[in-house]
Amino acid sequence: MATAVQTVERENYLNSNYGIKSWLLTTDHKRIAVLYLISITAMFWLGGFFAMMIRLELLTPAGDLVSSDTYNKLFTMHGIIMVFFFLIPSVPAVLGNFLVPLMVGAKDLAFPRVNLLSWYLYMAGAITALTAMVTGGVDTGWTFYTPFSTTYSNTHVIGAAIGIFIAGFSSILTGLNFIVTIHRMRAPGMTWRRLPLFCWSNYAAAVIMVLGTPVIAITLLLVALERAFNIGVFNPQLGGDPLLFQHLFWFYSHPAVYIMILPGMGVISEIVCCFSRKRAFGYEFIALASIAIAVLGFLVWAHHMFVAGISVYAALVFSLLSYLVAIPSAVKVFNWTATMYKGSISYNTPMLYAFGFIGLFTVGGLTGIFLSSLGLDVHVHDTYFVIAHFHYVMVGGMVMAYMAGLHFWWPKITGKMYPEAWAKLSALLVFVGFNTTFFPLFILGYMGSPRRYHAYPPEFQVLNVLSTAGASILAVGYVLPMIYFVWSLRYGADAGPNPWNAVGLEWMTSSPPPTHNFDETPVVTWEAYDYEHQPQEEITVGH
Amino acid sequence: MATSDIGDIQVAERALQHHFADMEQQRETSSFGMWMFLLTEIMFFSGLFCAYLVYRASYYHAFVEGSQKMNITLGATNTAVLICSSLTMALGVRAAQMGKPKLMAILLLITILFGFGFLGIKAVEYHEHWVNHEFPGPNFHFETGDPAHPATDAQHTEIYFSLYWAMTGLHALHMVIGIGLVAWLVIAGLMGAYTPHYYNPVENVGLYWHFVDLVWIYLFPMLYLISKKHGG
């Protein structure tokens, strides 16, 4: 009897074939996205473990948990893993890989095998860097400043640099794939002005990946060559210029923060429109602001070097240019709020995360303006103020957006709903935990507490204890989704093709989508975020 | 005649990947992708070009003295070899377009020969520099040969040679990869993979080969020629 009632399960990308080989040799962008999801989640926990060790060490003023050498390695490895192996691939390689072809109405990315290659390069880079960490670690900081990294550090700099070098090519190939796909693979009727804002922002990030990443690749290669073969391009003993290293490093690594944040902004645009049931306010402005951020991002790198010895005039110009980045960023924030204005807002988990993003990104962005003003930067340079600013943008902004996107598209990726109440609790914990962790660091930094020390004067203890307590709350906030997402794979309710009643091509196919994404090539005749003409149904999930 | 045309189209249909609508879209997409990749290659080399510019401005005389040690005859020969290889590569792409796989294979084999010729001559040069202690590191040794500028710091020429080895070394690595790619084209071509309806890989490897050639066209004057006459 039971078998008779059971309906035949629809063919989708998850059940089309089975076995480890069908995953490791897949060229399906959706499966590659899942491979990335698993890999970067592992890296996130590893980087998070190092962060927890840092916070535990800073619980007391004395350097009692780890030695100063170990502490140097801890913050270096936290930085390398989180920046190069989690934040940069997070939204593009997981959500972008899954969604860009679906959103433009294509069967796959333009180069499916290159896409798989990019995952293997990511894994090769990650394993190389992890090997360097396991066999002794690196202590240069994630910035690899010369001449310490080239001459004096006795740690595994070459391994870490080569690992990032290899992973860089995975990022280049992902970016290349996105650009070509968005240019050439759009479905009939999917014009540039109808393109979802998620695609616009991933396109902008992809431009930075393609133009910026090769520069860090050659820079880190030169560091490795200098250590291995005495190719002394940055060696001051020969007359080489360590500042040249900083210029080349930040030429990529500053735009890289826009690689990280832009795709997150795309996620927020999608979610704000869906849960406000409105068309994006100033769609063209949000789209072009992404491009403006990508372009301006290439012109501001030396604001990391105000106290490194660059000329005052150069510093003035870079300071002014850095202020300009605030304009497109603010355009986005204002347009999201204007989209919500008079919208019919529902408070589902993705929207809660999006609220968190908008608030925290604004704080992070505004403190960025503090840091790009020359006088103030001298005071707070290399203090916890910088740490707090960076984490407000990257964790409060980017990780929030990644979590928002993961919750929003989880039903599409897996076909299952997560438990809404637990998810709301996790969003709340992440918000509270994040602010408790990082707001005290603004104050600490402003009072002059320098970063990268494992011990500090006793009068700073209260704020440090507060921060460590916040980090524990934050950790719980991240563990919860881990548990209920896995739980939902087996016990979650079926999501149906469009649980949020959202518009967009990815919601017009089944969940999980079939291997070829669409049963027939979609033809687009409507504007993006056409919620006015969408039947006003209640969002029915989560009760 | 008609049967061979049908055969060609069948090969082309086999080559059409599932996610493209037609061969036209596939061809344009693959060529666009290759141009994007070459853009990343330009940025990759640009870090080194930037370092060259900065240090040439700072240590002009050391760069002049360093470039005196370059063997212009071998460098110029190598430039000619590479230009010829680009010609045979371009003719090979044309042979593929016209559906002459055997002619294509012959032309590409000549290209490979030129490639090995370039690497061989480069190896002779590298050997000369190596025995003259012109490799950066503890064994580096440089006699300043310019009495007008006795103050020229030998250490600064070490930077010149660092850049020389890094830039030409990276270029040589690209040549090795290029030779491998062309060899793959020869084998695939003889097995009948390419027809006038489908020859993207030949075209793309051709673009790559020309790019690597072009890098050398910049490296040769920058490292060998540019400071030769005005050294005083």
Model confidence pLDDT, tens digit, residues A325-369:
999 999 999 999 999 999 999 999 999 999 999 999 999 999 999
Of A106, A215, A229, the CB nearest to B43: A215
Residue A14: Cβ within 10 Å count: 18
**Closest to B26 measured CA to CA, from A195, A12, A452, A184:** A184
Residue B149 pLDDT: 60
Domain that includes residue A343, residue range: 31-533
Instruction: Flag whether A5 is in a domain.
Output: no
- Residue A298 predicted with pLDDT over 50: yes
Cα separation, B89 vs B182, in Å, equals 9
Helix H, strand E, coil C: the string for A399-460 is HHHHHHHHHHHHHHHHCECCCHHHHHHHHHHHHHHHHHHHHHHHHHHHCCCECCCCCCCHHH
Q: Could you give the 3-state DSSP secondary structure of residue A383?
A: strand
Residue B135 pLDDT: 87
Instruction: Flag whether A19 is in a domain.
Output: no
pTM across the whole model: 0.93
- Residue A539 predicted with pLDDT over 70: no
Q: Which residues of B touch A (CB under 8 A)?
A: 17-19, 21, 25, 28-30, 32-33, 36-37, 39-41, 43-48, 50-51, 54-55, 58-59, 136-138, 140, 153, 155-156, 158-159, 162-163, 165-166
ipTM for the predicted complex? 0.89
Q: How distant, in Å, are the alpha carbons of B23, B24, B173 from that of B13?
A: 8, 12, 35
Residue A2 pLDDT: 42
Residue A177 pLDDT: 96
Of A176, A211, A516, the CB nearest to B33: A176
Cα separation, B208 vs A15, in Å, equals 40
Confidence band of A3 (pLDDT split at 50, 70, 90): very low
- Residue A514 predicted with pLDDT over 50: yes
Residue A536 pLDDT: 56
What residues of B are in contact with residue A233 (Cβ under 8 Å)?
A: 51, 55, 159, 162-163, 166
Distance from CA of A25 to the nearest CA of B (A): 16
DSSP A25: T
- Residue A395 predicted with pLDDT over 90: yes
Can you read off the two tokens belonging to residue A135?
Answer: 């066999």
Cα separation, A400 vs A255, in Å, equals 20
On average, the pLDDT of chain B sits at 88
Residue A542 pLDDT: 43
H helices present in B101-153, as ranges: 101-131
Residue B153 pLDDT: 73
Instruction: Flag whether A196 is in a domain.
Output: yes
Closest residue of B to A175, CA-based? Answer: B36
Instruction: Flag whether A26 is in a domain.
Output: no
Q: Could you give the 3-state DSSP secondary structure of residue B153?
A: coil
Instruction: Flag whether A539 is in a domain.
Output: no
Residue A8 pLDDT: 58
- Residue A537 predicted with pLDDT over 90: no
- Residue B83 predicted with pLDDT over 80: yes
Residue A6: Cβ within 10 Å count: 8
CATH of the domain at A296: 1.20.210.10
What residues of A are in contact with residue B141 (Cβ under 8 Å)?
A: none
Distance from CA of B1 to the nearest CA of A (A): 34
For chain A, give the percent of residues with pLDDT over 90.
Answer: 87
Find all residues with CB under 8 Å of B86, minimum gap 6, and list them.
Answer: B209, B210, B213
Residue B22 pLDDT: 84
Q: Please compute, for residue B115, the number of CA atoms within 13 A of its CA located in the half-sphere on the CB side.
A: 26
Instruction: Flag whether A268 is in a domain.
Output: yes
Q: What is the mean pLDDT of residues B59-81?
A: 90
Tally of structural domains, chain A = 1
Residue B63 pLDDT: 87
What residues of B are in contact with residue A521 (Cβ under 8 Å)?
A: 21
Residue A404 pLDDT: 97
Instruction: Flag whether A15 is in a domain.
Output: no
- Residue A543 predicted with pLDDT over 70: no
Span A143-181, pLDDT tens digits: 999 899 988 888 899 999 999 999 999 999 999 999 999
Distance from CA of A168 to the nearest CA of B (A): 11
Q: B43, A183: Cβ pair inside 8 Å?
A: no
Instruction: Flag whether A214 is in a domain.
Output: yes
**Domains (range + CATH), chain B:** 22-231 (1.20.120.80)
Lowest average pLDDT, out of A114-123, A461-470, A523-532, B10-19, goes to: B10-19
